[in-house]
Amino acid sequence: MAEQSNSILKVGDAAPDFTLKDADNKDVSLHDYRGRPVVLVFYPYDWSGTCTNEMNLLQEVMPDFEQQDAVVLGVSADSRFSHKAWADSLNLTFPLLADRNGAAIRAYGVQNSDGAAERATFVVDKDGKIAYTDISSSRANIPEIPKVFDALENMGSKK
């Protein structure tokens, strides 16, 4: 069993910025979305069963994220080529970002002993601060989407 790391990031901390390649080889930076909430979803591997279920769930509720003006970004250590094939097979409309050297995964404190990301979700507010974290206790557990929406709604009520 892989050893889980626990993020040192807490609600209110500045979200570490990053620039990663998406499936179309375009640079995507967290700071590109300043002014909008970002749902940052770290996951272990493309093509695995639980990760497929998680991405399908996120895609299913994408209209609800859009209603909150939230951007969803998926991040794993898989290649952009794997991301492209997998995203196309699942008809995903949100970017999957390739963190091949694990820099963003480490910055968020969610790298495990095999170099992959733990399953974790961070909500970053429009000012670039961490508003919510959910680091799964097991790779088999998908973070609770209703809690992500609660965090988004709470941010909206603090305008």
Give the list of residues 6+ apart from residue 131 with CB closer than 8 angstroms, or none. Answer: 11, 37, 123, 124, 125, 151, 154, 155
Average pLDDT along the chain: 92
pLDDT at 1 over 80: no
Give me the active site residues, please.
51
87-121 pLDDT, tens digit per residue, is 999 999 999 999 999 999 999 999 988 889 999 99
Q: Which domains does the chain have, with CATH numbers?
A: 19-142 (3.40.30.10)
**40 three-state secondary structure:** strand
120-150 pLDDT, tens digit per residue, is 999 999 999 999 999 988 888 888 899 999 9
